[in-house]
């Protein structure tokens, strides 16, 4: 079985899912995998070195124009001759399937990682047309599956929730909340959809109440939006409270040092960072966004707040940090949920079974 995964080279959540799938499927003797990434500004040598460390076979194609991307990917398909092409995310699922069709790849799969994308009428027409030639559309959450259903695609849709490495995050005995030296952490790329601004606004409100928790922000992304966040931190005089970390290969260690994880997104597919924080037994606070809300049962294994509501978020943070020991059992409940339902091994097995079924029926 030869499987080609095509995804953005921006090392987003979609890239991480593709890499994790390949790393797991590489352990199966009769599965040959190739990762092809569309080059982005954030496709750095440091990030590519991680692929080498994991023995991931990969190639890069240009991101200059969509036509050039399709042309280069088509050539790779013709040379490598995959049985299955898995195209992850938007717009890569359009470009990937176009190249796969031109190269006559037998089986095409679309994986949708987000609940809200920039679908113009033309792009929506393209995805509906391509769905006629697509063997399966995979949604990474129930919320995403519902969004795809509303697109009236002709290909069958299957929900396969994302998973994480539960051995890496949290370990066997996660650090108790009271023994963690730092307060708040958010892990996510800088983009308006992640809504770091609401978190900074909440931190400002807490400062006005005489409450000054520390906050670690981990991620890179759009420079303009990151500058907006930086400017807001400076305007409110929060520099001593906020620590910016652009990129880290030790997110698991960082999570174990923090009491509370916050995800303030306006929309998601299925947020991996939330799962990693839950597995690490942080007390998790998430917005009521698709791809976040379905992971958290409010006040049972985490907390939910209305999208963009800085006051509600500040109230929850103050409640937790005023007496964090009261929320140790809640954090452990979140961890147990991830271990039971979002284990990476279950996810990779589900994809492997999908590939086997499609090959058998093709």
Cα torsion angle, 47, 87, 272, 63, sign: positive
Classify residue 168: in a domain, yes or no. no
- How many domains does one find in the chain? 2
**Distance (Å, whole) CA 98 – CA 4:** 14
pTM over 0.75: yes
| Angle, CA of 336, 316 and 279, to the nearest 5° | 20
| Integer Cα distance of 124 and 355 in angstroms | 26
Identify whether 169 is part of a domain: no
Q: What ranges in 54-104 are assigned the alpha helix state H?
A: 66-80, 92-102
Q: Is residue 69 part of a domain?
A: yes
Radius of gyration, alpha carbons of the chain: 21
Please state, in angstroms and rounded to a whole number, the distance separating the CA atoms of residues 131 and 127: 6
171: phi then psi, degrees, rounded to nearest 5: 65, -160
Residue 247 has pLDDT above 90, yes or no: no
Residues 329 and 353 in one domain: no
* 134 and 113 co-located in one domain: yes
Claim to verify: residue 150 and residue 244 sit in the same structural domain? no
Identify whether residues 41 and 134 lie together within a single domain: yes
- Residue 171 domain-assigned (yes or no): no
Residue numbers of the domain that contains 308: 177-341
Whole-angstrom Cα distance, residue 152 to residue 215?
43
Q: Are residues 146 and 260 in the same domain?
A: no
Q: Are residues 191 and 300 in the same domain?
A: yes
Q: Residue 342: which residues within 8 A CB-CB, separation 6 or more?
A: 161, 162, 163, 164, 166, 275, 279
Do 348 and 200 fall within a single domain?
no
Residues 203 and 307 in one domain: yes
Same domain, 351 and 223: no
**Backbone phi, then psi, for 205, in 5-degree steps?**
-65, -40
Same domain, 134 and 192: no
Angle ∠(52,53,55) on CA atoms, nearest 5: 60
For residue 170, being part of any structural domain is answered with no
Residues of the chain above pLDDT 70, percent: 100
Examine residue 111 and state whether it is found in any structural domain, yes or no: yes
Please say if the pLDDT value at position 47 is more than 90.
no
DSSP assignment string, 300-318: TTBEEE-TT-HHHHHHHHH
Given this model, what pLDDT does residue 345 score?
87
Q: Say if 153 falls within a structural domain.
A: yes
What gap in Å lies between CA 136 and CA 155, rounded to an integer?
Answer: 6
In the predicted structure, residue 233 carries a pLDDT above the cut 90: yes
Compute the distance between CA of residue 343 and CA of residue 10 in angstroms, rounded to an integer.
24
**97 and 30 in a common domain:** yes
The fraction of the chain above a pLDDT of 90, given in percent, is: 81
The CATH number assigned to the domain holding 236 equals 3.40.50.2000
Same domain, 236 and 335: yes
pLDDT digits (tens, 9 = 90+) for 140-176: 988 899 999 999 999 999 999 888 888 899 888 899 9
Assess if residue 197 is contained within a domain.
yes
Give pLDDT tens digits for 248-291: 889 999 999 999 999 999 988 889 999 999 999 999 999 999 88
């Amino acid at each position: 079985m030869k499987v080609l995964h095509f995804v953005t080279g921006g090392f987003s959540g979609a890239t991480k899912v593709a890499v994790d799938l390949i790393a797991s499927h590489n352990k199966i003797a009769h599965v040959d995998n190739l990762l092809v990434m569309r080059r982005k500004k954030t496709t750095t040598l440091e990030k590519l070195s991680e692929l080498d460390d994991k023995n991931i076979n990969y190639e890069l194609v240009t991101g200059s124009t969509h036509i050039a991307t399709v042309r280069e990917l088509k050539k790779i398909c013709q040379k490598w001759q995959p049985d299955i092409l898995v195209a992850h995310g938007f717009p890569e699922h359009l470009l990937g399937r176009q190249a796969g069709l031109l190269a006559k790849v037998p089986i095409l799969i679309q994986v949708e990682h987000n609940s809200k994308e920039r679908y113009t009428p033309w792009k929506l027409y393209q995805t509906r047309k391509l769905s006629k030639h697509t063997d399966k559309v995979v949604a990474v959450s129930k919320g995403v599956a519902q969004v795809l259903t509303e697109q009236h695609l002709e290909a069958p849709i299957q929900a396969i929730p994302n998973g994480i490495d539960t051995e890496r995050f949290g370990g066997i005995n996660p650090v108790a909340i009271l023994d963690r030296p730092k307060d708040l952490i958010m892990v996510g790329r800088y983009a308006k959809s992640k809504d770091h601004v609401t978190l900074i606004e909440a931190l400002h409100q807490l400062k006005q109440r005489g409450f000054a928790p520390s906050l670690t922000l981990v991620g890179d992304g759009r420079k303009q939006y990151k500058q907006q966040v930086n400017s807001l931190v400076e305007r409110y005089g929060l520099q001593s409270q906020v620590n910016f970390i652009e990129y880290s290969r030790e997110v698991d260690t960082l999570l174990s040092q923090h009491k509370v994880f916050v995800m303030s997104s306006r929309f998601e597919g299925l947020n991996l960072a939330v799962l990693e924080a839950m597995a690490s037994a942080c007390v998790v606070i998430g917005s009521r966004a698709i791809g976040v809300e379905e992971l958290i049962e409010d006040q049972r294994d985490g907390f939910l707040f209305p999208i963009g509501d800085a006051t509600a978020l500040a109230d929850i943070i103050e409640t937790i940090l005023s007496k964090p020991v009261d929320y140790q059992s809640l954090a452990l409940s979140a961890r147990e949920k991830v271990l039971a339902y979002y284990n990476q091994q279950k996810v990779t097995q589900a994809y492997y079974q999908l590939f086997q079924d499609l090959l058998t029926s093709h």
